[in-house]
Amino acid sequence: MAGTLVRVLTAVPLCDGHDSAITAINLELIRQGIEVVYLGFHRAVGEIVRAAVQEDVAAVGISSYNGGHIEFFREVAAGLRDAGRPEIGLFGGGGGTITPSDAARMHEEGTDRIFLPGATFDEMTAYIRSRFARTVAAPPIEVSSADPLVLARRITCLEEGVDPGREPPPRGEAPVLGITGPGGAGKTTLIDELVRQYLERFPRHRVAILSHDPSTMMAGALLGDRATMVYAQDDRVFLRSMATRGRQGGLSPASEPALAWLASAESGFDLIIVETVGIGQEALPFPAGMVDLRLLVMNTDYGARLQLQKILMLEAAEIVVANKHDRPGSATAVAEIGRYLATFAPGKPLLPTVASRHADPGVARLLEFIPSSRP
């Protein structure tokens, strides 16, 4: 039934690098058909609240094994209230570090449930599915989507098959960059460094990112791009994770209508980035007119030279990025790709990058190809 899928955000607090427990719980939730936005570990309260609002989750789950849990959970609950989302649930656990008396006090201060030692996966998932299932309602028509809460809810309506209340306003001037490529090519890391350099170059600009991950056969999904993005956790960045929900090709059934809202003049962004799920040789994920600039991110260890002739996006993309250029053999690979493009797509830019490197000059060159909507 539309509007009832459970979507949660999970995270590990500051000064806590114990992610084995939350990783196991994430996998079980996904297996039970729950969509999990994973923020990663060593996360501050502000980061958790911002992500919860932008992702429009029903609840936040925190795994805390490092002490300070009473204060941390209290501040997350207060942050959600201050952000205008007091209805977002809060649950968590921490093994023996959270005592029954701690859990009782945390419940009084706004935490819905602490799972103590001995709680089973079945108990956790049953509680989360029943407690945090919700029916989504559209925001008021007159409220502007420049408000992150409103924009996030309209995207949720589109995902859940609920009328968002009105049609999106006319498109603004912000360019839309579509980024695709095989899994493991470093698309998310490239976006993170690109956004960092973009925000540094344009101090008044705002960026929207629409990121995709695959749904499982059980209808759950691990939406993990936030965990690997460092610089995109910024107040000038709106990052929304979407599951493919059965659609093939790298996008979600709601991607195009969601993009119409992100790219509208009302939303006020200066650059919109759409990242697909990792694609194979045959995929052409962006429908005509969906993006302004198509970028293919490639590994430099793609295999034999013959493989280049099987990658449709090499010809369809406007820009080709050969990422992880610091790896052995990458210079040879870039030369092979360059010869292929010179034959079949002369003049197409080929940019070697090391996106994991701070201030990478290859990413700086890429930024030059992206038009700015304003100075």
Question: Which residue has 């990783």 as its token pair?
Answer: 23
Whether the pLDDT of residue 1 is over 60: the answer is no
Give the DSSP letter of residue 305. Answer: G
What CATH number does the domain containing 120 carry?
3.40.50.280
Identify whether residues 241 and 348 lie together within a single domain.
yes
DSSP string, 166-206: SPPPPB-S--EEEEE--TTS-HHHHHHHHHHHHHHH-TT--
| Between 231 and 69, residue with greater pLDDT | 69
What is residue 317's predicted lDDT score, i.e. its pLDDT? 92
Whether the pLDDT of residue 263 is over 80: the answer is yes
Domain membership flag for residue 59: yes
Whether the pLDDT of residue 341 is over 60: the answer is yes
Lowest mean pLDDT among 85-99, 225-239, 306-320: 306-320
Identify whether residues 234 and 118 lie together within a single domain.
no
Domain membership flag for residue 345: yes
Last residue of a domain, one of 110, 131, 152: 131
Identify whether residues 91 and 175 lie together within a single domain.
no
Identify whether residues 108 and 181 lie together within a single domain.
no
Q: Are 337 and 185 in contact (CB under 8 A)?
A: no
Identify whether residues 119 and 179 lie together within a single domain.
no
Identify whether residues 111 and 234 lie together within a single domain.
no
Lowest mean pLDDT among 97-101, 105-109, 231-235, 270-274: 231-235
> Taking residues 90-96, what's their average pLDDT?
94
pLDDT level of residue 299 (50, 70, 90 thresholds): confident
Q: What phi and psi values does residue 62 have, to the nearest 5 degrees?
A: -125, 130
Overall domain count for the chain: 2
Tell me which residue range forms the domain holding 310.
169-368
Last residue of a domain, one of 107, 131, 155: 131
Prediction pTM value: 0.94
**Coil, strand, or helix at residue 297?**
strand
What CATH number does the domain containing 340 carry?
3.40.50.300
Domain membership flag for residue 266: yes
Q: Are 193 and 231 in contact (CB under 8 A)?
A: yes
**Helical H segments across the chain, by residue range:** 20-31, 45-55, 69-82, 100-108, 121-131, 148-160, 187-201, 225-228, 255-262, 313-316, 330-344, 361-368
Domain membership flag for residue 142: no
What is residue 3's predicted lDDT score, i.e. its pLDDT? 44
Domain membership flag for residue 125: yes
Identify whether residues 127 and 176 lie together within a single domain.
no
Residue 218, number of CB atoms within 10 A of its CB: 11
Domain membership flag for residue 322: yes
Q: Are 298 and 304 in contact (CB under 8 A)?
A: no
Domain membership flag for residue 201: yes
Identify whether residues 217 and 289 lie together within a single domain.
yes
Please tell me the distance from the alpha carbon of residue 63 to that of residue 300, in angstroms, as a whole number. Answer: 37
Identify whether residues 121 and 254 lie together within a single domain.
no
CA distances from 362 to 46, 179, 199, 321, 369 (A): 32, 16, 17, 9, 12
Identify whether residues 210 and 90 lie together within a single domain.
no
What is residue 2's predicted lDDT score, i.e. its pLDDT? 42
Last residue of a domain, one of 108, 131, 154: 131
Identify whether residues 236 and 293 lie together within a single domain.
yes
What is residue 293's predicted lDDT score, i.e. its pLDDT? 96
Q: Are 353 and 359 in contact (CB under 8 A)?
A: no
| Between 209 and 41, residue with greater pLDDT | 209
Domain membership flag for residue 145: no
Identify whether residues 351 and 217 lie together within a single domain.
yes
- % helix / strand / coil in the chain, to the nearest 5? 35, 20, 45
Q: Are 16 and 65 in contact (CB under 8 A)?
A: yes
> Taking residues 359-363, what's their average pLDDT?
96
Residue 301, number of CB atoms within 10 A of its CB: 13
